[in-house]
Amino acid sequence: MKSDVQVMRHPLVDCHLTALRDETTSGAGFRQAVKMLSTLLAYEATANLKTTIRPVKTPITTCDGHDLNRRVGLVPILRAGVAMVEPMLDLIPTSEVWHLGMYRDEATATPVHYYSKLPPNKPVEVAFVLDPMLATGGSALMAIDAIREWGVTEIKMLSIIASPEGIERLQNERPEVQVHTCVIDQSLNEDHFIVPGLGDAGDRIFNTTG
Ligand code: PRP
């Protein structure tokens, strides 16, 4: 079995992605585009969240209202995933945010896990891993394993841009994880960067390029 991969298809996604790709886009413009795309991704990725019904009194009458009935965790991978937190929290204000810190070793492109805020117990019921980039997939796999170890059984991966290699690796190695992305690009280059890609999301979000 391979995991389910959902790729967004929408003209507004294409336009905001173009802003991310464009090397002349400012840090502010880049962050704004990440925010928009994260909101659209979140809309798709949360489509099967269950709600409970409660009566609500409107100024006119009463009707059925809805409340989320599951504990939702957002797990951003530092640094770039941080930019996806606020739009998700806007949509699900009761979400818990648990940070994981990882960076790719430049020589080997393997992830280095340097920080975890995951608690030892009381796992959330559904976790959304947030990282704009899925390149080799190493960081995502490491994050998913840490969340599974915490005890979470339902995990969804939200990336804005992915490589075919990273998608295939996730599908083969973590088939139970549903993946949502805005686009799957052509390939990785010899430096393990996504082509055509958008450069390094963390650097562009935090103005640390160069
Ligand atoms: C980037 C990106 C992902 C990771 C993807 O982070 O934000 O976390 O690389 O690559 P992978 O799929 O090959 O693991 P980076 O290492 O640049 O860290 P940063 O966000 O702190 O800049």
Instruction: Tell me the per-residue pLDDT of 105-143, one tens digit each, with 9 for 90 and over.
Output: 988 999 999 999 999 999 999 999 999 999 999 999 999
Is 200 an annotated catalytic residue? Answer: yes
**Average pLDDT across the chain, whole number:** 96
Domain-embedded: residue 175? yes
Domain-embedded: residue 66? no
Domain-embedded: residue 56? no
Domain-embedded: residue 76? yes
Catalytic residue among 18, 108, 153, 208: 108
Q: Residue 181 belongs to a domain with what CATH number?
A: 3.40.50.2020
CA of 49 to the centre of ligand 1 (A): 28
Question: With a 6 A CB cut-off, is 138 part of the ligand 1 pocket?
Answer: yes
Give, for 137, the enclosing helix (H) or strand (E).
none
Q: Which domain holds residue 88?
A: 5-48+71-198
The tokens describing 122, both together, are 């009381």
Cα–Cα dist 17/15, whole Å? 5
Is 203 an annotated catalytic residue? Answer: yes
CB atoms within 10 A of CB 141: 19
Domain-embedded: residue 55? no
Question: With a 6 A CB cut-off, is 174 part of the ligand 1 pocket?
Answer: no
- From the centroid of its chain, how far is CA 30? 16
Whether residue 1 has pLDDT greater than 90: no
Q: How many domains does the chain have?
A: 1
Domain-embedded: residue 203? no
Domain-embedded: residue 207? no
Is 104 an annotated catalytic residue? Answer: yes
Domain-embedded: residue 208? no
- Band of pLDDT at residue 176, cut at 50, 70 and 90: very high
Instruction: Pick the residue whose CA is nearest to atom 13 on ligand 1.
Output: 136
Catalytic residue among 46, 79, 104, 185: 104
